[in-house]
Amino acid sequence: MSTLIDHQIENAKRVCQRCLVQQVGPPARSVADATQILNTLEGLLNKYGDYCKFWIGPNLNVCVKNAGDIRLLLTSNQLNKKGPFYEEMKSFIGSGILSGGPNWRNHRKIVTPSYNKISVQVYSKVFNKEARELATVLANKNPKTTFNVYCDVVRFTTQSVCQTLMGLSKEESKNVKRMDEIVALTQSMYNNIFENIAHWWLRIPGVKILTGRCNKEKYYIKLIQEFTSDILERRTRALNESGGTIEEYMGIVDRFILSGEVSDQDKRFEIFTLFTTSQEASAKLASAVLLFLAHLPEWQQKVYNEIMDVLGTDEDVTEDHLKQLHSLDLVYKEALRYLSIAAFIQRSVEKEITINEGKLTLPVGTAVIISIHMLHRDLCHWEEPNKVKPERFLPENVKQRDPNAFVPFSLGAMDCLGRVYATSLIKTFVVQTLRRVQLEADGNIEDLELHVAISVKFAKGYNLRARPRT
């Protein structure tokens, strides 16, 4: 194994010991790359209007900014194929739910019941238990010490996902092979994918070998295989011992096994895909909501008062409770707007389609690029888009805005599977946390640097302080 990989492993181990989620390696290049891409797209759109076209290698790309056409394209059956960018993901996650391919629709159909409202209500018991443990950890922090709350949150979102979607017990969740390294390196893996997307020359075999990227990617793939194989073996053994049948609330691993329609390798790919997109994305959004509340004390007080009025101090959080927490919902939606789950979406045109009120026809094979990050900051729809303002989602303000301007979970057949799951998990974590601690932070949240790659996050962490409530 090369020196680069040895360093990567040792670095990951050190990271796991002090904080499960610190990024391996400096993110500066990815930040610059993403900023350059966004600036280039924004410049083209400012010059040519809501539509611009350009070539990336042999692929014609059309970037669309018009909110109405974005909805049309994402919901059209003529674009149910992921674009060429997603090819760079397939070494890690195969041709499946996230990356597209011939089996994505069938795989999605198999696991969808695990994400519906009925299943999420059953998972609520786990969410509350893990959220209470998180709140206890935060309440025991030194109130004068600033820390990256994401490092704590992701431990408990990981446990929540393991005990629900993965179908593991609490004890099993603590002993899954290579899980600490997976959690520590997930962001580094996705940054590596984004760099390959942004720089075509990094995909050249000779360049990959000379730069050490080839060995690094092999290590990532080996890590994923060992992690997912352990989960798959545990659940296969458990189902064999119990004579398992499909139950209404079972996790995604059991559904894949019992379906009999998915190869073992595809199961492993989908386990990794759904594990990381559930625990890592939920952790980033939950941390963002907590950070917003730390920077906006008046909103923190509103949310806290609402929690006390609806639930009091001890009751478990239920779906009915969450529906009544309107202030929390406003802050949550603003976090979704400000930090897009997917910065870019790319689709391939499979059948000719017309947009721009019939003025523009997209031929078969065109790659359509939609920047959710840019849509959520478009001055045409958002006043002071670079400021954090939860009040923009008050009903009277929403009525004045194009409903197509806010698509945090995408749209159509390929939209985000986990919107109900993630929303319940994140809000439960916030409720249980605010019951126990008061959050504080320094400076202005708008001054915090963003890291834009496959998703959007705060480049230097989600740094705040927690003071126990009396």
Question: Which tens digits make up the pLDDT trace of 132-148?
Answer: 999 999 999 999 999 99
Residue 27 binned pLDDT confidence (cut-offs 50, 70, 90): very low
401 — phi, psi (to 5°)?
-115, 145
Question: Which tens digits make up the pLDDT trace of 192-201?
Answer: 888 887 777 7
Specify the pLDDT at position 410: 94
Residue 23 binned pLDDT confidence (cut-offs 50, 70, 90): very low
pTM, two decimal places: 0.90
- Domain residue extents for the chain: 3-468
Q: Tell the CATH superfamily of the 3-468 domain.
A: Cytochrome P450 (1.10.630.10)
Residue 11 binned pLDDT confidence (cut-offs 50, 70, 90): low
pLDDT at 157 over 50: yes
Type of residue at 133: E
Among the ranges given (115-119, 185-189, 324-328, 463-467), the one the predictor scored with the smallest mean pLDDT = 185-189
Cα-Cα-Cα-Cα dihedral of 209, 210, 215, 220, to 10°? Answer: -90
Whole-number Cα distances in Å, 200 to 8, 38, 55, 467: 24, 17, 12, 48
Residue 5 binned pLDDT confidence (cut-offs 50, 70, 90): very low
pLDDT at 10 over 60: no
Q: Which positions ≥6 away from 62 have C-beta within 8 Å?
A: 51, 52, 53, 362, 366, 367, 368, 369
Q: Give me the mean pLDDT over the 54-75 stretch.
A: 90
Measured CA to CA, the distance from residue 376 to residue 382 in angstroms comes to: 7
